[in-house]
Amino acid sequence: MRYAFANCLLDTDELTLVRDAEEIAVEPQVFDLLHLLARNPGRLVTRDEILAEVWNGRIVSESAISARIAAARKAVGDDGKAQRIIQTVTRRGLKFVAEVTADTPPALLRPAHMVQRIRYTRTAEGKSLAYAVIGAGPPVVRGGYNTTDLEAEWNTPSERAMFDAIAERHSLLRFDPIGFGRSDRALEEFSFDTLAENLKLAADAAGFERFALYSESGGVLSALRFAVKYPERVSRLAIVGGYAEGRGRRNPDLKADVMHSLVTEGWTAQEISFVSAMMLSYFPEGPLEAIHDMARNMINASSRETMLKVRAAIHDVSLLPLLPQVRCPTLIIHARHDNVHPLSEAQKLAAGIPGAELMVLETANHIPIPGNAVWDEYQSTLLGFLGERERSPAQGVTRPAFP
């Protein structure tokens, strides 16, 4: 169905919003809110209706709701002062006051609802490794992140938003390394080389021969190792919030890892405030609801003992010797005001990797998440880079080079 209003066209089959002939990037929850309002023009849509449709009935904070409403208004060229399209009815809900024309485009194929199916493969030692592929198109792998849980992330809006965006254009492979999430939880030793081999195992099981690889935060520590060891398999590498050296390595006077203490004291669901405090140092701009979700996911993804092994490895790691060996196009995205892994770490990566490009986002959040001011810019930049290729065999389309 297509809904035309003001200077906008909302297409629920193509999942697009066009304003003044230009496609506007919106996150899934904002799109769902616009869809709910556009199909009920002139009628008061209550807060309960909004929660039921956009958040599946979950209890969410007022700040989260306000952020989505503000983003919806911005997407259609409205604002909270003018309210010429989306009107707030105090303490009751919202009303779509623009005139709406709806029609069904002819011969339009409706995309299938995205469903995650978790599959398993086995390591040489017989341990089970969980992976999932969603979407269709050129292959992309989310590589090497070490605190994942395929099912929990899939059901977390702040995590899911980027997965959905990538899967609209690509076949996206995600996996849980051994010791984490839905994979075998028994982990005798932790190493980034082993994580890189887990990545290879998942890619082999999914039939991905050559692919774009993106990593977030500590995920760079194994993703970059994979790119160096298997250069023929990585077409391009995106690094978001990565770092060249661990906090202990870049600051020898740092006697102890404060994150280690937080894990030791609070790695249980009953003590989630400890891990939330740790996550707040990474995401000072919030939203707070997303921080609590991520903290809960991390605690459930692995044992305290496994996470302490991770913290010990991260503290003293260095990627500097590997950087000159990266051969694929590389984009590094980093927050200017990141207090945990400062911008200087991204600059080390960019200076050490031949031909790498660095994009700096004006935020303090370690990785942008929905609700941040830079989210749209981050999403469009990452998607543009991952989509670069000479030619898609499936579509026969040449995409423009990344600027």
- pLDDT at position 402 is 31
- pLDDT at position 258 is 63
- pLDDT at position 248 is 86
H-helix or E-strand spanning residue 24 = strand 22-24
- pLDDT at position 395 is 35
The CATH architecture that domain 2-103 belongs to is Orthogonal Bundle (1.10)
State the Cα–Cα distance between residues 349 and 363, nearest whole angstrom: 19
DSSP secondary structure letters along 323-392: GGG--S-EEEEEETT-SSS-HHHHHHHHHHSTT-EEEEES-SSSS--TTSTTHHHHHHHHHHHHT--S--
Say if domain 118-386 classifies as CATH 3.30.360.10: no
- CATH code 3.40.50.1820 region(s) in the chain: 118-386
183 close to 145: Cβ distance less than 8 angstroms:
no
Enumerate residues 6+ apart whose C-beta is below 8 A from 253: none
State the Cα–Cα distance between residues 163 and 28, nearest whole angstrom: 11
321 close to 225: Cβ distance less than 8 angstroms:
no
Positive or negative CA dihedral for 351, 356, 357, 359? negative
Q: Tokens 């997965």 belong to which residue?
A: 163
The stretches in the chain having pLDDT less than 50 are 106-112, 390-403
- pLDDT at position 326 is 98
* 245: helix, strand or coil: strand
The 10s digit of each residue's pLDDT in 304-313 is: 899 889 888 8
| Token pair listed for 146 | 């070490």
Q: Tokens 């760079």 belong to which residue?
A: 220
| Token pair listed for 208 | 């991905």
Question: What are the beta bridge partners of residue 171?
Answer: 135, 139
Query: How, if at all, do strands 234-240 and 330-335 pair?
Result: parallel
- CATH code 1.10.10.10 region(s) in the chain: 2-103
Q: Provide the whole-model pTM.
A: 0.69
Positive or negative CA dihedral for 123, 127, 128, 129? negative
Q: Tokens 């039939």 belong to which residue?
A: 207
203 close to 132: Cβ distance less than 8 angstroms:
no
